[in-house]
Amino acid sequence: MASSKALVLAAFGARGTGKTAWVKQQIAAIKPPRLMVWDFKHDPALASVGKPFTDLAAFIRALEKPTFQARYLVDHRVDFHAQFELFCLAAWEAGRVLMFVDELPEVTKANKAPPAWRRCVNIGRDYRLAGSKDPQWLSIIGAGQRTKECDKSFIGNADVLHTGRLSNVPDAKELAQSLGCDYRDLLTLPDLHWIERRAGQIEPTRGKLTFSAKKTTPAAAGKPRLRDDS
Ligand SMILES: Nc1ncnc2c1ncn2[C@@H]1O[C@H](COP(=O)(O)OP(=O)(O)O)[C@@H](O)[C@H]1O
Ligand SMILES: [Mg+2]
């Protein structure tokens, strides 16, 4: 029986270090047939990533199609935690989707994550919807400036831990331990430089984002896949 593995990618770094640019490159390489994006800050850098929705109900209806690239522009006039809960519930119901949550620390804390998000992170690799035998899975990309403000199970579940420069010593120490590098390296990385560790790697890899070469991905480990089928 084929085993499958949905991927969890975590991207960190201070503002402007290249998180969103890196995530965009990952998405471009994965080419997910079903993509949903939580665009917290209405980031101009995400303008090319999926069809924008300002209406959450319309966004969720768009997920009923077999394929979609949908980006939800969070409504800051009303409680965005409630919107995030619905976003995560909709991801769960949709299944077989890549969900990208940008500015993750706005909606999670180290020891407190919304239940629907927790379920996506902790059980989303392989699950069944009630009354169905079809296997479902979620691939998840989360990005944020501060590791200390992200829920620990998300970081612990990451298949790819990727970071640019961090501006804060406790964050750098925590992530350096997971990456297997000196925390001072994380405090001094120039913009667009990164250190990452993929599941199964002992040593972290280092690199710099480039934007010119069309076919190259930034990751030394090659093209990321939405699922590993073996
Ligand atoms: N397509 C691109 N070409 C050249 N530079 C880019 C491109 N996309 C992003 N950048 C550079 O990457 C920097 C980091 O942007 P971004 O990934 O949005 O940062 P972050 O998400 O970490 O705040 C930007 O300041 C910009 O200089
Ligand atoms: Mg960003």
CA-closest candidate to residue 69, choices 109, 116, 36, 115: 36
pLDDT, position 226 = 64
Q: Strand, coil or helix: what is 174?
A: helix
Indicate if the pLDDT at residue 96 is higher than 60.
yes
pLDDT, position 1 = 34
Indicate if the pLDDT at residue 34 is higher than 50.
yes
Q: With contact defined as beta carbons under 8 Å apart, do 70 and 63 qualify?
A: yes
Q: Strand, coil or helix: what is 140?
A: strand
- Any residues with CB less than 8 A from the CB of 94 and at least 6 apart, and which? 34, 36, 63, 64
- Using N-to-C axis directions, what is the helix angle for 80-94 and 115-123, rounded to 10°? 30
- Any residues with CB less than 8 A from the CB of 142 and at least 6 apart, and which? 8, 9, 10, 11, 100, 101, 104, 150, 154
The structure tokens listed for 130 are: 């009630």
Q: Strand, coil or helix: what is 125?
A: coil
Number of domains in the chain: 1
Q: What is the pTM of this model?
A: 0.90
Q: Measured from the CA of 17, which atom of ligand 1 is nearest?
A: 22
Q: What residues are in contact with ligand 1 under a 6 Å CB criterion?
A: 13, 15-21, 45, 192, 211
CATH number at residue 46: 3.40.50.300
How do residues 135-181 score in pLDDT, each as one tens digit?
999 999 999 999 888 888 899 899 999 999 999 999 999 999 999 99
d(C-alpha 153, C-alpha 147), whole Å = 11
Q: What are phi and psi of 130, to 5 degrees?
A: -55, 130
Question: Domain range spanning residue 88?
Answer: 4-229
Give the mutation target among 20, 41, 49, 212 for probing the ligand 1 site: most ligand atoms within 8 A of CB.
Answer: 20
The structure tokens listed for 152 are: 């620990």
> Residue 9 C-alpha to ligand 1 middle, in angstroms?
18
The structure tokens listed for 99 are: 């969900």
Q: Measured from the CA of 15, which atom of ligand 1 is nearest?
A: 23
d(C-alpha 74, C-alpha 137), whole Å = 24
Half-sphere exposure of 119 (CA within 13 A, CB side): 18
- Any residues with CB less than 8 A from the CB of 44 and at least 6 apart, and which? none
> Residue 132 C-alpha to ligand 2 middle, in angstroms?
37
